[in-house]
Structure 1
Amino acid sequence: MPQSPLSDHEVPNNLIQLQVPITCDYFQKTSNEELILVNDENTQHSFFHNYPSNPYIHAVRVFSGKNYSQSYKIVSLGQYPTKVIYTRKEKGINYKVPNNYQVETILNGLTVLCKTQYQFSHKIVVKYTVEWTDENGQIKSRYSLSSAGAASSLFLKEIYNKLNS
């Protein structure tokens, strides 16, 4: 399977959200250049990759009988601090959140950089940021201290408001 650039894949707006960080711990490794298929039953995604030989990871999810795909470029896996924060989910697995994790993808036709950054103050929190360049070349961003999903919702709200103004 040839590698595809990020722009070759589109996902409907109602399915777009920042994904749980993909780290080396969750993938099988091979000594050659073959793509690896990993089925994640928790998220109902199938991942195709050859990480770390190639930074691109392609995810496919079947929803209501249709295939939706998204590609990601891992920019930085980051690292886990001594006091690690976990994702908060009511159901399923709670994943460790790395500090300085960065992944690039296409959302709503824009190349975006999604990243995490630990904030060390009275209480340790993670700042989830979605960053993009607007049509005027200005770097814009939206962030949340609660979740990656909340940060992506703020991004989508900004884009939606811009389109309707």
Structure 2
Amino acid sequence: MSTEASTQTVAAPSSSTETTQEKSRPSPARQETIVADQILTSDQDAKHSQISRVFVIAIDHSSHSQYAFDWAVKNILRKETDLVVLINVRPIPSIPGPYTIGATYMDFSEMITTVEEQQPPTFAGFCFEIESAEPIAMRGDARDEIVRKVTEVNADALVIGSRGLGPFWDL
């Protein structure tokens, strides 16, 4: 018999308080799934053996993302027993122009690496607040990658913060 957990999206309230539904603790089989998906490495297994819930928090460099993270830490996370998967999705650049229909793929990896090295680390301000935080950097369409990762880690909840104009707009 397969056990599937439904994922709920928890958005940080702008000013009023919201109640959230808490789920029951996952079965040992669920914890094995998380480890099997290699969210945890063998060195970290002992540290994360008491994980009761998995939260995915999508973050970027915006103040909205910081607010959603802070709200989640204050209102719904149990720092000692919850696994928090922090994800940041960067879009794959495209070349705008009149000849893009038949254009071949151009390799921008060197330019992207240079730009990323100049930006401050996205996860630097987030990981130190939670005992079991796993940062994951991804590339692609934010909607698709976030949904894929939430499904992959069998998350109990997804926390996002956006005012509606970023890549989470259509999520």
Q: Which range, TM-score by smaller chain?
A: under 0.3
The structure carrying a bigger helix percent of its residues is 2
TM-score using structure 1 length: 0.27
> Which structure is richer in relative contact order (CA contacts within 8 A, separation 6 or more)?
2
Larger radius of gyration: 2
The structure carrying a bigger strand percent of its residues is 1
TM-score using structure 2 length: 0.26
